[in-house]
Amino acid sequence: MLVPRRPQVPDWPAYLARHAEKAKDPRLAQFFSAGIPGPDTPIGETPMVALDMETTGLDARRHAIVSIGVVPFTLGRIALRERRYWIVRPQRTLHAESVTFHHITHTDIEQAPEFGEILGDLLEVLAGRLVVVHYRHIERLFLDDSVKARLGEGLMFPMIDTMAVEARFHRQSWLARFKRWIGRPPASIRLYDSRTRYGLPLYQGHHALTDALATAELLQAQIANHYQPEMPIGQLWT
């Protein structure tokens, strides 16, 4: 009888420790030094923070961040009093189509701080917490590129991606594959469609702070329905 292999878990604590030693910018050094709970830590005991951002487009090389929302939480509590929200002045042109999408206007950004000015505050909220996002390829790439452009150093850390969690059950399961085989369209794993499956309330989308709250609630629902609070975080982070 074959015993299934346990999936390899990235050694994120060691990664952060190495970067704490070699980071040149004190804000990055302090963030990396805060570390992260080990991969065997139960998710029910892990401090987390939901992160969302609005951007002028989807390509981190050509577009820019215009707002960031963060909401600290655990499986049992969402710390709304500790939430933070920033409108950020982009270095690139704000086009009309992006204004229509996220409703942040030229007037909003005229007096807004540039990303580098809020980086220290952002890292302070994220430090020591496991970051949770919905579709990590936006937040991870935009943060890393934005920090590199200003400091010449990257910013990478573990994330739980609620879209990837949802895909496990509605895109990658045998039932999902069977439905595709018989011609049924794949289930949507977008944030608000995913929330609907768990009976979570409808929020107005495309606002970074509201979407961060929506992401925190979605992870709570996913764990309650599919996992246990004792599940090691290394099984979900990426």
pLDDT at site 182: 55
Higher pLDDT, 7 or 128: 128
- pLDDT, average across residues 168-190: 66
User: Considering only CA atoms, which of 225, 238, 219 is closest in space to residue 43?
Assistant: 219
Residues 183 and 180: their CA atoms lie apart, in Å, by: 5
pLDDT at site 98: 52
Percent of the chain exceeding pLDDT 90 equals 71
Neighbours of 202 (CB within 10 A): 9
pLDDT tier, 180 (very low <50, low <70, confident <90, very high otherwise): low
Which contiguous run of DSSP H or E holds residue 181? Answer: helix 174-181
Residue 34 pLDDT exceeds 70: yes
pLDDT tier, 1 (very low <50, low <70, confident <90, very high otherwise): very low
Which tokens hold the place of 184? 């049924």
Residues 200 and 124: their CA atoms lie apart, in Å, by: 29
Residue 100 pLDDT exceeds 50: no
Has this prediction a pTM greater than 0.85?
Answer: yes
pLDDT at site 183: 57
Give the Å distances, CA to CA, from 61 to 98, 142, 149.
Answer: 16, 8, 10
Q: Which residues of 100-114 are buried (b: 16+ CB within 10 A; e: fewer)?
A: ebbebeeebbeebee
